[in-house]
Amino acid sequence: MSENAYPTAKVGDQEVPWDPEQLRKIQEHPCFSEKACHRFGRMHLAVAPRCNIQCNYCIRDFDCVNECRPGVTSQVLTPEEALQRVDEVMEKIHYIKVVAVAGPGEPLFNEPTFETFRLVGEKYPHLILCMSTNGLLLPDEIDRLDSLGISNVTVTLNAVDPNIGKEIYEYVTYEGKKYTGLEAAEILLDHQLRGLEEAVKRKMIVKVNTVLIPTINDDHVIEISKTIKKLGVYIQNVMPLIPQYRFSHLSPPTPAEKKAVQDELSKIMRQMRHCRQCRSDAIGRLGCDVQQEFEKTEEK
């Protein structure tokens, strides 16, 4: 599926092309458009340290590996510090088009995420606001995200069958209660699918990240693509497992294996192939990060 084949939306019986504002949010977004990634950059604001689920491939001492590079711990900012960082960056780097929250934990489980988007959106209305999530709180928070102007959303979806999901997630905490096993996987999947549907309904541009986990979901990823295609997701990003925590005994997929899977899935869903597994405080063009220039110096 080519990048130029932009989507249409079903209105009644008719296929209607996406509107120009939606197209801009693809064409100027370095993750949603491979062409854009050479020209435009993004900045992540690490304002979200807590997480509400436990993935079996995640050591929680580091950035969320659903979107970010494992083994990296980003410095957490307050919303005010985050806005200040945006001010400094916008003054110096004119190719930044996207401001995102992608960790170091789950953005929707951290109130500062919302305050950060409010502050940044008010001051810089032309910037594209982007967020990644495990999806558990997406149905509950979708209206708040919509009213804050978040236009690009990524949900990590590793299974569309709870029997596979239960092998991937150790637990889920929702409304103060901890769930494990099949029940946890069912709750998470139900919320993820409803969240995706609601995001598409609100004209958000939606990406799904799928961690390719050999022997666990490698035969199942095609079902994920079929499901998200039906839901109107724009693009899928298959990320190779980095074996750690409970999956430390698994072998990661080789680049050739990952490519073969992407080739197969591309018959169903548009595939992102240029992901650089960023840090949750990354700034710059993908693969050309410059956040060291803006790091906060610790007060002694």
Q: How far apart are CA 237 and CA 109, in angstroms?
A: 23
Q: Does the protein bind ligand CLF through residue 31 (CB under 6 A)?
A: yes
**CB-based contacts of 64, cutoff 8 Å, min separation 6:** 51, 58, 102, 103, 104, 105, 106, 132, 134, 280
| 188 contacts 172 by C-beta, under 8 angstroms | yes
Q: How far apart are CA 42 and CA 99, in angstroms?
A: 6
| 133 contacts 155 by C-beta, under 8 angstroms | yes
Q: Does the protein bind ligand CLF through residue 132 (CB under 6 A)?
A: yes
| 180 contacts 128 by C-beta, under 8 angstroms | no
Which pair of tokens denotes residue 133? 């999530």
Q: Does the protein bind ligand SF4 through residue 83 (CB under 6 A)?
A: no
Residues 239-278 that bind ligand CLF (CB under 6 A): 275-278
Which listed range, 47-55, 75-83, 182-190, 199-207, lies at the site for ligand SF4 (CB under 6 A)?
A: 47-55
| Residue 93 vs 275, nearer CB to ligand CLF | 275
| Residue 152 vs 187, nearer CB to ligand CLF | 152
Q: How far apart are CA 239 and CA 209, in angstroms?
A: 7
Question: Which option in ligand SF4, ligand CLF, none does residue 212 bind, with CB closer than 5 to 8 A by kind?
Answer: none
Q: Does the protein bind ligand CLF through residue 98 (CB under 6 A)?
A: yes
Chain positions contacting ligand SF4, by CB under 6 A: 51, 53-55, 58, 60, 64-66, 105-106, 134
Chain positions contacting ligand CLF, by CB under 6 A: 31, 42, 44, 67, 98, 100, 102, 130, 132, 152, 154, 207, 237, 275-278, 286
